[in-house]
Amino acid sequence: MLSDGTADRFDDTPPEQPPRVKDPCVFVVIGAAGDLTKRMLTPALHNLAASGLLPERFAIVGVDRVPMTTDEFRQRIAQAIEDSEESPFDHRVWGPYEGRLHYLIGDLREKSVGQQLRALLSGVDEKSGTAGNYLFYLAIPPSLVGQTVTQLDEASLAREDGPGWRRFVIEKPLAHDADSARALNRQINSVIQEHQIYRIDHYLGKETVQNILVFRFANGILEPVWNNHYVDHVQIMVAESLGVEQRGEYYEEAGALRDMVPNHLFQLLAFTAMEPPISFEAEAVRDEKLKIFRAIRPLSHEEVLTHTVRGQYDEGLINGERVPGYRKELRVASGSNTETFAALRLHMDNWRWSGVPFYLRTGKRMPRRVTEIAIQFKRAPDILFRGTSINSTPPNLLVIHIAPEEGISLRFDAKVPGPVVRTGPVNMDFRYRDYFGTTPSTGYETLLYDCMNGDATLFQRADMVEAAWTVVTPLLDVWETLPARGFPNYAAGTWGPTEAASLMQRDSRRWRHV
């Protein structure tokens, strides 16, 4: 054991030197004055710099309508890093980069701003040696994405028809429904090519999510039982204790289903259910994820009523503090029918998972924040224990913990010591911090690093986005045609409406108790 209590796993093997980004580049943030840049992007860049994972020739250009000088922008970024809990500020690390931060006031919907940005980037290339490689991070509302890409193209900044590469990072929501997903993809792909687009989902920046593939495919004891012969069902949960905060206007348009299911939950579903790819190359992994989305059995309008549940939180207690109901939140309609909770039962029409239900649930104002994947195995036959004090044996349970604690646990039964045959549950727990320590992280470090290296493995492709929305759109159609009755139907600080429990009970199952 090491002095900090962690296991000594590496013996005398010298540590590997971390690889650096291959190409120099300019990180261009469109919407640089926004909350995402402050809370996530700049602390993540600081962490990459501290790990030696930024290019030696690197610069940052911020673009926004907010009036600000370059010096003020530099101070703002430094303050954001200092204020971040996930990025301990180190001036020795960040100092060399401060002089490479630049700011442009403007709205890229105006043609003149695109020309100003082109001139600025040309100067940055000459000064910082960034070779015309530009990574555009579109930290803007989705309604502006298509138009922004078009304006960048008109400024000769989008296409890769000269020296240097051009890459575009797009945040969710990537659409509103299946039709809008197809329309947005057509609009973007008319300007830039698919290999230039990085549709980001910050959930995939978490170590445990990335570890699912290694956990499944690098351990020979797991793959043989990872199928419908041994698995009874799978539960995927993303619960939040927070309400909608200052996002009432957005949430009124989106709701829990649009906000969480076709992106976050479906990404977790795909990693859990996909077939082994032929390699860890980006297209091989993404091909297998696409097959999962296309294998999900479509729900008829009648099945939507029996396979899905929606809810909206009322006032209640969170950590002993009384919080308002959704309809009392800022910029939310007093009679809103927007759901803040969604639960689904899905089935897949493929050989591996035929007959295995996948239960998904997500909600706001839950008792605690937790994201996990629970694989419950089929119960062992009890004939061996007839005539003993054991009435039945509980099923084995494998839980992949994603947030807030990252790790994996396995529950099985063991005999309790003594002359009488009795069993008791045993939990084997692996926690990342116990084995590998903790590293400051916002969840964006790996994703930004991959973007700069041109590795699209953890990013969604256009056909994946469209396939996911094709599954979700029938639910949206039914829910919009038949407004919810009885909203609000669960108190803040509870695990959702009673109908969600009934969804499981009809299958003689129940949600995992967290």
Listed in sequence order, the DSSP H helices in 296-334 are: 301-307
Is 354 within 8 Å of 509 (Cβ atoms)? no
Residue 178 lies in a domain: no
The pair phi, psi for residue 381, each rounded to 5°, is -65, 145
**Are 269 and 143 members of one domain?**
no
Please compute the mean of the pLDDT values over residues 110-120 and round it to a whole number: 93
**Are 33 and 79 members of one domain?**
yes
CA nearest 145: which of 166, 113, 169?
A: 169
Domain carrying residue 39: 25-171
Residue 81 lies in a domain: yes
Residue 430 lies in a domain: yes
Residue 240 lies in a domain: yes
CA nearest 494: which of 338, 312, 254?
A: 312
- Per residue in 28-78, pLDDT (tens digit) is 999 999 888 988 999 999 999 998 999 989 999 999 999 999 999 999 999
**Are 281 and 371 members of one domain?**
yes
H or E stretch at 239: strand 231-239
**Are 76 and 213 members of one domain?**
no
Residue 291 lies in a domain: yes
Say what percent of the chain tops pLDDT 90.
Answer: 67
**Are 90 and 232 members of one domain?**
no
Q: What angle do CA 58, 64, 66 make, to 5 degrees?
A: 130
Question: Which residues fall within 8 angstroms of residue 252, CB to CB, at 6 or more apart?
Answer: 331, 332, 333, 336, 338
Q: Check if 264 is active-site.
A: yes
> What CATH number is given to the structural domain containing 355?
3.30.360.10
Total domains, the chain:
2
Is 136 within 8 Å of 168 (Cβ atoms)? yes
Question: Which residues fall within 8 angstroms of residue 259, CB to CB, at 6 or more apart?
Answer: 173, 251
**Are 146 and 222 members of one domain?**
no
User: What is the C-alpha to C-alpha distance for residues 469 and 463, in angstroms, rounded to an integer?
Assistant: 10
Query: Quick check: 1 pLDDT over 60?
Result: no
Residue 487 lies in a domain: yes
Query: Quick check: 14 pLDDT over 60?
Result: no
Query: Quick check: 92 pLDDT over 80?
Result: yes
Strand partners, 314: 491
Query: Quick check: 87 pLDDT over 80?
Result: no
Q: What is the DSSP letter of 172?
A: S
Query: Quick check: 214 pLDDT over 60?
Result: yes
Residue 186 lies in a domain: no
Residue 292 lies in a domain: yes
Please compute the mean of the pLDDT values over residues 254-258 and round it to a whole number: 94
Question: Which residues fall within 8 angstroms of residue 371, CB to CB, at 6 or more apart?
Answer: 203, 237, 238, 239, 268, 401, 402, 403
User: What is the C-alpha to C-alpha distance for residues 169 and 178, in angstroms, rounded to an integer?
Assistant: 21
**Are 151 and 298 members of one domain?**
no
- Per residue in 471-493, pLDDT (tens digit) is 999 999 999 999 898 999 999 99
Catalytic residue selected from 264, 301, 307, 347: 264
Determine the straight-line distance between the first and last CA of the chain, rounded to whole angstroms: 31
